[in-house]
Structures are given as structure tokens and as C-alpha cells.
């Protein structure tokens, strides 16, 4: 059964800083709480020990609306020239595109923040999931679950039926004698390939295209499971995943 929580603890769980910092935010009037009445403005709360039911709670913290999430699940439209690393080597980290609370969410007493579910190369764009739910990351990353991922591939040389056939039947990569095949493969245009994979090997799309005598010029992930990257989510923007969207992923 859900329990009421002190406001400072709610803020701490959402990544707004230590409990002392969170208490200070409340006491200084930086936290407002939305009521149940639709359209009503949020009301200021300056009591850090005030208790609320966290589930469904909507707050405004330092002018930013923030719904309570016991676990964070977000999608990011990864732009080019970014790295899926906390310690990037050449390009900016994708984590700099996220607000501070998502990067500072605590896990078991330590600051962990959300983590990318898998990685995209620095020059690859598109749909990327991030969460602080370790079980979700493990489930999505496990090869046993075969979650399909759809890629829009721009190739250097015009596609032909033989290349499509080989990608579907399977090609051998240099690090594994077992053929790797696409779950689906469609030539959308002469230089545009839509490729669906259910496993994730290092540089897999690029190596598969090289194996059939072509070359990847641009790579964009458009879908994970049944969840498509929304058309109105611009590169560099993020968005919370709702329950229906999570089902589109988990049900794949």
C-alpha cells in the first residue's frame, strides 16, 4: 500500500539534490503543489515535512513543472555528434541534454541518474530510451527478448534485390561465424533501406551493409518494439514515457 512521504523526501527521490538542499528549496518558496482541480494554479508549500501521497503528485520546482515518477522512463531524440557516455571522449554527452534531476536521481543511496538502454554511435540519430530501472535495462538488453529495433539507413550505393535477400538470409561478420540476419528489410528508395534487427552487435548495421558490398552514409533509429519516435520530438529533445508507450515496448 502506498505511503505518504515528506515533501523533502519526495524531492530527493526525484533528483533535486540532497535532503538538506530539498528542504531548503521548500522553505525558500521554490516548490508549489498542484491540486486535484483541473486548471487550478499550483499552491506554494514552505513546510519541508508536509506529507503527500507521491503517486500522481504534480509539482512546480523552481518554475519547472515536474510530475512524480517512482521510476523514470524517458525517450530522447538523439542528435548526431553526441556520445552515449557519461565520460565522452570527442563529442558532448547525451546526458547534457537532460535536466539535472534526471541526471541526479538517487539509487540505493548513491547518485546514479538515468542510464541509456543500449547505445547509439556518435553519428547515429534517433530513438533512445533512458531509465533508472535496472530490471528494465536488463530486460531490454537481453538477447533472449529479441526486442525489434527499426533503422532508417541511407546507403552509398543503390540497393538491389540481391543485397536485400542476403541481409534477410544472413551475413557473416568477422567476429562470429554464425550468420546475422535482419528480421525485416525493405528498400524504401534507391538509397534508403529500412532494416529491423532483434539483436545488437557492435556497429551491426554498418558491418552488415559492408558485408553485402554497400556502405552506410547515415543511420537513424526510428522505432523500438512498437514505439515509434514521435514526429514532433525534435533532435535533442526528451519526453516522459507513459504507461501505454511502455506497453508498446514491453509487449514487443
Give yes or no for a contact between 240 and 168, defined as CB atoms under 8 angstroms apart.
Answer: no
For residues 156 and 209, state if they share a domain: yes
Same domain? For 84 and 38 the reply is no
Let me know whether 114 and 62 are in one domain. no
**Confidence (pLDDT) at 144:** 76
Sheet holding 31-33, edge to edge: 43-44, 31-33, 58-61, 64-67
Q: How many domains does the chain have?
A: 3
Instruction: Place 127 in a pLDDT band, splitting at 50, 70 and 90.
Output: very high
If you average pLDDT over residues 97-116, what whole number do you get? Answer: 87
Are residues 127 and 244 both part of a single domain?
yes
pLDDT over 70 percentage in the chain: 97
Q: Is 215 exposed, middle or buried (CB count within 10 Å of its CB: 0-12, 13-18, 19+)? A: exposed
Residue-number span of the structural domain to which 104 is assigned: 73-142+232-250
Q: Tell me, what CATH number does 53's domain have? A: 3.10.290.10
Q: What is the CATH number of the domain that holds 133?
A: 3.30.70.580
Whether residue 12 is found in the same domain as residue 39: yes
Judgement on whether residues 80 and 127 belong to the same structural domain of the protein: yes
Please indicate, yes or no, whether residues 136 and 155 belong to a single structural domain of this protein.
no
Out of 67, 98, 113, pick the residue that ends a domain: 67
**Residues 214 and 246 reside in one and the same domain:** no
C-alpha gyration radius of the chain: 22
Mean pLDDT of the chain: 93
241 or 200: whose pLDDT is higher? 241
Query: Among 15-29, 33-47, 109-123, 152-166, which stretch is predicted with the lowest mean pLDDT?
Result: 109-123
State yes or no: is 121 an active-site residue: yes
Region 195-201 average pLDDT? 90
Mean pLDDT, rounded, for 19-37 = 96
Q: What is the dihedral of CA 114, 94, 92, 120, to 10 degrees?
A: 120
Q: Say yes or no: 27 and 129 in one domain.
A: no
Helices (H), the chain: 7-13, 19-27, 100-104, 134-141, 161-169, 204-211, 243-250
Each residue's pLDDT tens digit, 145-197: 789 999 999 999 999 999 999 999 999 988 778 899 999 999 999 999 999 99
Do 246 and 132 fall within a single domain? yes
Same domain, 50 and 91: no
Q: List C-alpha distances in Å: 235 to 79, 82, 95, 165.
A: 5, 11, 14, 33
What is the torsional sign of CA 79, 81, 83, 87?
A: negative
**pLDDT score for 174:** 81
Supply the angle between the helices 204-211 and 161-169 in degrees, to the nearest 10.
130
Q: What is the CATH number of the domain that holds 178?
A: 3.30.70.1560
Residue 122 Cα to chain centre, angstroms: 15
Q: End of a domain among 67, 86, 102?
A: 67
Q: Is the pLDDT of residue 109 over 60?
A: no
CA atoms within 13 A on the CB side of 135: 2
Which of 91-95, 149-153, 199-203, 214-218 has the least mean pLDDT?
A: 199-203
The catalytically annotated residue of 9, 121, 123, 133 is: 121
Q: Tens of pLDDT along 45-66?
A: 999 999 999 999 999 999 999 9
Q: pLDDT tens digits, residue range 75-88?
A: 999 999 999 999 99
**Do 236 and 112 share a structural domain?**
yes
The residue ranking higher by pLDDT, 144 or 79, is 79
How many CA atoms does the CB half-sphere of 238 hold within 13 Å?
21
Rounded to an integer, what distance in angstroms lies between the CA atom of residue 234 and that of residue 178?
38
Amino acid at each position: 500500500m502506498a505511503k505518504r512521504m515528506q515533501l523533502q523526501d519526495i524531492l530527493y527521490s526525484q533528483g533535486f539534490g540532497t535532503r538538506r538542499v530539498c528542504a531548503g528549496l521548500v522553505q525558500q518558496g521554490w516548490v508549489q503543489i498542484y491540486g486535484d482541480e483541473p486548471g487550478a494554479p499550483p499552491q506554494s508549500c514552505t513546510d519541508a515535512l508536509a506529507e503527500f501521497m507521491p503517486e500522481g503528485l504534480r509539482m512546480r520546482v523552481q518554475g519547472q513543472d515536474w510530475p512524480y515518477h517512482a521510476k523514470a522512463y524517458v525517450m530522447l531524440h538523439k542528435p548526431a555528434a553526441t556520445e552515449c557516455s557519461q565520460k565522452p571522449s570527442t563529442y558532448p554527452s547525451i546526458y547534457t541534454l537532460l535536466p539535472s534531476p534526471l541526471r541526479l536521481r538517487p539509487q540505493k543511496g548513491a547518485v546514479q541518474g538515468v542510464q541509456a538502454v543500449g547505445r547509439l554511435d556518435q553519428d547515429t540519430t534517433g530513438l533512445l530510451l533512458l531509465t533508472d530501472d535496472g530490471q528494465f535495462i536488463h530486460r531490454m538488453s537481453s538477447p533472449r527478448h529479441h526486442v525489434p529495433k527499426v533503422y532508417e539507413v541511407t546507403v552509398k550505393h543503390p540497393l538491389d534485390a540481391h543485397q536485400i535477400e542476403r541481409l534477410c538470409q544472413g551475413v557473416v561478420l568477422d567476429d562470429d561465424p554464425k550468420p546475422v540476419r535482419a528480421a525485416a528489410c525493405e528498400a524504401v528508395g534507391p538509397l534508403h533501406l529500412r532494416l529491423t534487427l532483434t539483436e545488437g552487435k557492435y556497429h551491426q548495421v554498418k558491418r552488415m551493409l559492408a558485408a553485402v558490398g554497400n556502405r552506410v552514409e547515415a543511420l537513424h533509429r526510428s522505432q523500438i518494439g512498437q514505439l515509434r519516435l514521435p514526429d514532433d520530438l525534435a533532435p535533442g529533445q526528451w519526453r516522459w514515457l507513459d504507461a501505454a508507450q511502455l506497453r508498446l515496448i514491453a509487449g514487443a
